[in-house]
Amino acid sequence: MIKIAPSILSADYANLQRDVELVEKGGADLLHIDVMDGHFVPNLSFGPGVVSALRPITKLPLECHLMIDAPEQYIKAFAQAGADRILVHVESTPHIYRALQMIKDAGLEAGVVINPGTPLELITNVLPIVDQVLVMTVNPGFGGQVFLKGMLKKVSRLDQLRQTNYNQDFKIEVDGGINDQTIAACAKAGADVFVAGSYVYDSDNPVARMNHLRDLAADATH
Ligand SMILES: O=C(CO)[C@@H](O)[C@H](O)COP(=O)(O)O
Ligand SMILES: [Co+2]
């Protein structure tokens, strides 16, 4: 099942409610919320306050992509704010297994995120306990960057792993540079969830952009 996840990093912050309602009505499957602390990545963005402000205005699942140091310290806050899924970078903590367990214990879906420069081997031990693996297809920190083609191999290796291991049943998500030129290759490689920020929101018709992405991903897998 293909899922399209608009990233509000590229939305109009002065009209966040409007931009969320627009993609919800237009058929988005979930909302991707990029959380940046200015340490783990060289940029600042949203905190739990934004998540709790969005919670009452949308029924879409809220997925929080934590690009922060010491993510364990903030899991409770994001859970209380209304997150449905929390994604933690393997590079952001020496205790990734514990961080993922904390997310599950809070009753949420847990995902592990892997940077372009990090080998897949670093997450193989947590694959049996995650609901999702997010493969970064740009270096995290900013929207509007160029897709890194080399990451397709990582996506297909992950797809192979989940097909050959009975205890691994995670979704594969891609994030960064997803657009009409890149989504088909990601879908073919095995990705199921597609984050798109600038391609969706830097447009006069975000809904048409989402529909186009969904069609391209569906065509690529049939
Ligand atoms: O996590 C990130 C960036 O670090 C993303 O979720 C961006 O929001 C994706 O933006 P586009 O590459 O789609 O413009
Ligand atoms: Co993201």
Could you report the per-residue pLDDT of 190-204, keeping only the tens digit for each? 999 999 999 999 999
- Grouping H, G, I as helix, E, B as strand and the rest as coil, residue 204 is coil
Annotated binding-site residue? 190: no
Of ligand 1's listed atoms, the one at least distance from the Cα of 177 is 12
ipTM: 0.99
What are the DSSP calls for 102-149, one per residue? HHHHTTSEEEEEE-TTS-GGGGGGGGGG-SEEEEESS-TT-SSPPP-T
* Ligand 1 midpoint to CA 164 (Å): 30
Record the pTM: 0.98
* Ligand 1 midpoint to CA 104 (Å): 25
Domain 3-221 = CATH 3.30.565.10 = no
Quick one: pLDDT at residue 195? 99
Over residues 196-221, the mean pLDDT reads: 98
Annotated binding-site residue? 177: yes
Binned at pLDDT 50, 70 and 90, residue 44 comes out as very high
Q: What is the mean pLDDT of the chain?
A: 98
Task: State the Cα–Cα distance between residues 68 and 201, nearest whole angstrom.
Answer: 24
140 lines ligand 1 (CB under 6 A): yes
Could you report the per-residue pLDDT of 61-87, keeping only the tens digit for each? 999 999 999 999 999 999 999 999 999
With a pLDDT cut of 90, the percent of the chain lying above it is 100
